[in-house]
Amino acid sequence: MGYPQTLETSSKVLIWGESELALRLAVEIGRRRPVVWALPGELVDQPEGVTVLPNSRLIEVNGASGCFSVQIETNGSLIRQEAGTIVVLPELDLDVPAAFRNNEEIDQAQTIVMVVDGVRPGCYREIVGGARALSRRGHRVYLIVDEVQVGFPGGEEMFQEACREGVVFLKDTVVYFDSRSAGCGTKLPAPAGVKTAESFREFTDQTLYLDCRSLGDTGPWVIEADRLWFFNGDRVRADYQQVREVLGVAGVDCQEYYPFQTRRKGILEIDPGWGEPFSQEEILAAVKTLIHSQTGDAPPAGRYEVRADLCALCLTCYRICPHGAVSFREGAENLYGQAMFIDPRACFNCGRCYAECPAQAIRQDSPPEESLGAVVLACENSGGPLLEGRGIPCLLFPCAGSIGITDMLRAWQPGIERLVIMTCRDGKCRHREGGKRLYSRVERLNRLLRVLNNPVHIEVVQVSAQDRVDEVRRRVSGL
């Protein structure tokens, strides 16, 4: 295949956290991906197919989306764990130093500037908490922040409290997260009474550039600070020496903190302490977001893959994929130099692309075996597997939506007048509306079959895996 092998990527998902939610996520993601679940406490439930690391502590995270390398201390020993994706449940203790939180060491009143960049909301809570404590103790505290985040329980109140207590926030927008999934926020103007970048002009003539990472580009500011603290979620990008100079606080006591954070791509944060318990839909939505947060270059390892040499770039798969797993891939060995690409980490193997590819360019790496003569073509999540060994030739597919017209026709043999497609019950398909497309496909084919000399009819039956075998047989035989 012509895919660039620039990165060794991992399909593994590391879940970090301890809660009912963590367990449920481990189970749900575990259906689709290899999962390592690291938790600080003892293991209570062992989810099936999930590697569990109890009594763990997260030491260090390196790498980027698709290829993280995580150092974990588990049961007293250090191990290194590769993961393509990390899910963080942020009720864990933060790496904000205790000194900061208690701040008893700072005696007389000082002017303290804190630069906060790229930390996750949970960490932010800690930092603001510390700032408030300092302010209450008579210090003048400036918080230069990339975003004022209030999208966590009690966040807005805390924010306003902090303002009342004299903490000066230097930022002109406030982000309210409108989803429990990380990364989806709505920027709104700062609420009344909040000190913003505008009010910062009272302290300096300089226009405040709002991205802390670029503070260095804005020319000299003058803040006579006694102390400067950096809280940085991305230690790579900021040049703090330069920032210190810009702020005019070079030479003062400066501390840098790198709380285990982060809003890096590939690290998904889900706050479990937020409002009502999560519903199954929300879990699934979170898993979906997780899967979608993944991009990157990886050789296909999924069940379905696009053969670039056959791909006509018709975009069918790209448009119909219910999981957003299909993207363009540059550098393909074909006429166009690009082909469609099914990201194996985002692919749920529903096979809809395979069923509808007009160029037959999407292949299954393990196609259903001998298909001739099967009278039942079934979704493997439906009652289809119940027919195994019961004298009814049945062919299993990962989803009924993956059964293409040619699959149906290939199954036919002279003498067969009726083919049965077995699908899950309405609303039970795990691949949104997969069934719906199957029905229109079958309808089209039946129209064509009706005019044959030897008419064949294709029937779709809905059978659940929970149905009794008798019932399944009855439905299949059309009685």
Partner 1 sequence: MIVGELKPFTEIKKMIRGYQRILVAGCGGCVTVCQTGGLQEAETLARLLNMDDPGTTVESLAVPRQCEWEFLEQLKTTVQRCEIIVSTACGIGVQAMNEYFREIQTLPALNTRFLGMPVEHGVFVERCQACGECMLHLTGGICPVARCSKSLMNGPCGGSKNGRCEISPEIDCAWQLIYERLKALDQLERLLVLQPPKDWSHSRDGGVRKMVREDLMLDDGE
Q: Site residues (CB under 8 A) for partner 1?
A: 310, 312-316, 319-320, 335, 356-360, 404-406, 409-410, 412, 414, 448-449, 451-454, 456
Q: How far is the CB of 314 from partner 1 (least distance, A)?
A: 4
Q: How far is the CB of 414 from partner 1 (least distance, A)?
A: 5
Q: How far is the CB of 55 from partner 1 (least distance, A)?
A: 51
Q: Is 51 exposed, middle or buried (0-12, 13-18, 19+ CB in 10 A)?
A: middle
Q: How far is the CB of 413 from partner 1 (least distance, A)?
A: 9
Q: How far is the CB of 477 from partner 1 (least distance, A)?
A: 22
Q: Quick count: other Cβ atoms within 10 Å of Cβ 346? A: 21
For 463-469, the CB contacts below 8 A with 24+ separation are 463/378, 463/382, 463/383, 463/384, 463/386, 463/422, 463/423, 463/424, 463/425, 464/382, 464/383, 464/424, 464/425, 464/428, 465/381, 465/382, 465/383, 465/385, 465/386, 466/383, 467/383, 467/386, 469/386, 469/390
Residue number, 319 or 436, with CB nearest to partner 1: 319
Residue number, 109 or 315, with CB nearest to partner 1: 315
- Check residue 235 and report its DSSP letter: T
Q: How far is the CB of 180 from partner 1 (least distance, A)?
A: 31
- Check residue 104 and report its DSSP letter: T
Residue number, 366 or 454, with CB nearest to partner 1: 454
| Sole residue written with tokens 């000399």 | 453
Residue number, 67 or 310, with CB nearest to partner 1: 310
Alpha helices in 190-254 (DSSP H): 197-200, 240-247
**Measured between alpha carbons, how far is 420 from 394 in angstroms, rounded to an integer?**
9
**Measured between alpha carbons, how far is 220 from 211 in angstroms, rounded to an integer?**
15
Residue number, 413 or 466, with CB nearest to partner 1: 413
Q: Give the chain's largest Cα–Cα span.
A: 97
Residue number, 270 or 408, with CB nearest to partner 1: 408
Residue number, 125 or 441, with CB nearest to partner 1: 441
Q: How far is the CB of 103 from partner 1 (least distance, A)?
A: 59
Residues 27 and 47 sit within 8 Å (Cβ to Cβ): yes
